[in-house]
Amino acid sequence: MAERPEDLNLPLSVVTRLVKEALPDGVNLSKEARVALARSASVFVLYLTSSANMLANKDKRSTIRGQDVFKALDETDFSHFEEPLKEALNEFQKTVKDKKVASEQRKQQRKSDANKEAAVSKESEQADEEIIDLADDGDN
C-alpha cells in the first residue's frame, strides 16, 4: 500500500499527455488545471477499483477481473464509459496478441538462421576434410 496519499496520484506527465491528445490544437492547460485533472483521475481510478474489488469480494475472489470493472462502472452510474473502455481493452488485447505473434516469428527466424549456419558450417567442415583427404592422397 502507498505510504503517502501523493503516492496514489497518477503521474502528472501521463495525465498531461492524455489531456493534450484529447484537446484540439492550440488549447493550452494551466499547471493548476493539469494537477486538478490528475488528482481527479486518481480519485476516479481509486473509486472504481474499490467498487470492482467489492464485487470481486462478493464472489469470494481476491482478483479483480475485467467484468468486475465493467459491472462497477454500471453500478457507479458511469456506464457511458463501458463502450470506450471495451474498445480500448480490445485494442490492447490485439496489441498484446500481435506482439506475441511477432515474438514467435522472430524466434522461428532465429532458429531457422541458426539451422542454416549449422548446415553451412557442416558443409565447410566436410569440404575441409575432403581437401585434407585429397592432399593426403597426393602425398602417397
Per the listing, cell 592432399 goes with 135
Would the pTM count as exceeding 0.85? no
**In terms of domains, do 44 and 57 share one?**
yes
**In terms of domains, do 67 and 104 share one?**
no
Per-residue pLDDT at 55: 96
Per-residue pLDDT at 124: 74
Distance from C-alpha of 128 to C-alpha of 123, rounded to nearest angstrom: 9
Return averaged pLDDT per consecutive 10 residues of the chain, 140 residues in all.
73 90 90 91 93 96 94 94 92 92 89 77 72 64
Longest dimension (CA), the chain: 96
**In terms of domains, do 102 and 50 share one?**
no
CATH of the domain at 16: 1.10.20.10
Per-residue DSSP letter, 7: G
| DSSP code per residue over 10-58 | PPHHHHHHHHHHHSPTT----HHHHHHHHHHHHHHHHHHHHHHHHHHHH
